[in-house]
């Protein structure tokens, strides 16, 4: 089992397949005209396979594929099929646009849960946030996934003054639909114009929820990042991910691999370890993996102030979200 210097076990790996995306969400991309990495810099399918095998041998039991948008990667089908052969829980995060084309692949690979990013239920606002007129496409695919038995989580990045007025609309969806809404606090990354005044906190979200519904707290897992709730009488649930206002780092079991093969031990870590170059040179990446984990900070990459209200985003060192992997 992989552990860090705080004796936290790490058995969950998030693998970014690409830094390319067919959306242009401002909180993820620093620039709408961002240049993506050339294909040869990306981990190739066989390299992803090799690295996955090593991580599984080291105790990884869950893998999430991310991007950018993972399904725009031309080898996405092959990569999903390769990873599905390992004894892991395989899932992915997607914007949902291509989900209908990949449904047979998901089912064949044993994927039973998928996260779909959708930050607004209003088509016009959705377009403003994504720069793409694909709301209906995503909405239809969410229903298609549910109809085929997948556990669908809808990720909503909540930004004060932007989409915080839709919180109750999202929760209302769970009345009759087996959807699992996950409200995510707005986080700072390179070039995404984060400000602490734009953070709509988990407490704010929950206060809205209890003003309109009888809300019951659900049991969270040991390593869960989301605090789960249900409105009484609803078939679906909602949750809050309080990265900024109430960090959950003590139970962190996550590692990240960027599309160009750099290992990050935290979403906000300043350092990265180049696994891909060593792999391509025939070297052993296991010592690098263990060393990277030993450098993991106790909380939020060691970069944040005690509270998000006093955090200065200009002092943070990190990539953009799309370059890290969602």
Q: Give the pLDDT confidence of 169-190 residue by residue, as tens digits.
A: 999 999 999 999 999 998 776 6
Strand pairing category for 2-3 and 9-10: antiparallel
Q: Taking a C-beta distance cutoff of 8 angstroms, is the pair 190, 318 a contact?
A: yes
> Would you tell me how many other CB atoms lie within 10 Å of the CB of residue 322?
30
CA angle, corner 67, sides to 65 and 72, nearest 5?
95
- Structural domain of residue 93, as residue ranges? 2-324
Residue 43 in this model has a pLDDT that exceeds 90? yes
* Rounded Cα distance, 170 and 166, in Å: 6
pTM: 0.93
Number of structural domains (the chain) is 1
pLDDT of residue 41: 93
Nearest to 157 by CA among 124, 212, 194: 194
Which of 74-83, 116-125, 238-247, 278-287 has the least mean pLDDT? 238-247
pLDDT band at 191 (very low <50, low <70, confident <90, very high): low
Structure confidence by residue, pLDDT tens digits, 225-263 = 899 999 999 999 999 999 888 888 899 999 999 999 999
In the chain, which residue ranges form alpha helices assigned H by DSSP?
45-57, 76-83, 99-109, 123-130, 135-147, 167-173, 202-212, 275-280, 286-294, 321-324
pLDDT of residue 170: 98
Give the CATH number of the domain where residue 240 resides. Answer: 3.20.20.70
Residue 30 in this model has a pLDDT that exceeds 70? no
Residue 32 in this model has a pLDDT that exceeds 70? no
Residue 264 in this model has a pLDDT that exceeds 90? yes
pLDDT band at 22 (very low <50, low <70, confident <90, very high): confident
> Would you tell me how many other CB atoms lie within 10 Å of the CB of residue 226?
22
């Amino acid at each position: 089992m992989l552990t860090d210097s705080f004796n936290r076990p790490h058995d969950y790996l998030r693998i970014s397949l690409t830094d390319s995306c067919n959306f242009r969400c401002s909180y993820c991309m620093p620039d709408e005209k961002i240049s993506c990495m050339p294909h040869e810099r990306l981990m190739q399918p066989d390299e992803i396979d090799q690295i996955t095998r090593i991580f599984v041998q080291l105790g990884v039991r869950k893998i999430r594929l991310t991007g950018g948008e993972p399904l725009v990667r031309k080898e996405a089908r092959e990569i999903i099929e390769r990873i599905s052969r390992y004894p892991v829980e395989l899932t992915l995060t997607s914007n949902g646009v291509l989900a209908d084309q990949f449904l047979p692949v998901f089912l064949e690979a044993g994927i039973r849960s998928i996260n779909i990013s959708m930050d607004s239920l209003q088509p016009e606002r959705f377009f403003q946030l994504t720069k793409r007129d694909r709301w209906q496409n995503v909405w239809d695919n969410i229903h298609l996934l549910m109809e085929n038995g997948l556990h669908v989580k809808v990720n909503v990045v909540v930004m004060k003054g932007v989409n915080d007025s839709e919180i109750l609309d999202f929760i209302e969806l769970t009345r009759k639909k087996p959807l699992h809404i996950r409200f995510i606090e707005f986080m700072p990354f390179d070039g995404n114009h984060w400000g602490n005044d734009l953070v709509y906190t988990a407490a704010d979200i929950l206060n809205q929820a209890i003003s309109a519904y009888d809300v019951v707290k659900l049991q969270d897992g040991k390593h869960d990042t989301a605090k789960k709730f249900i409105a009484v009488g609803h078939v679906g649930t909602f949750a809050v991910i309080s990265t900024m206002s109430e960090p959950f780092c003590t139970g962190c079991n996550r590692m990240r691999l960027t599309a160009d093969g750099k290992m990050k031990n935290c979403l906000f870590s300043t350092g990265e370890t180049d696994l891909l170059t060593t792999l391509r040179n025939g070297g052993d990446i296991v010592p690098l993996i263990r060393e990277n984990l030993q450098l993991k900070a106790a909380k939020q990459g060691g970069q944040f102030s005690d509270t998000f209200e006093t955090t200065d985003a200009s002092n943070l060192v990190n990539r953009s979200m799309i370059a890290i992997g969602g």
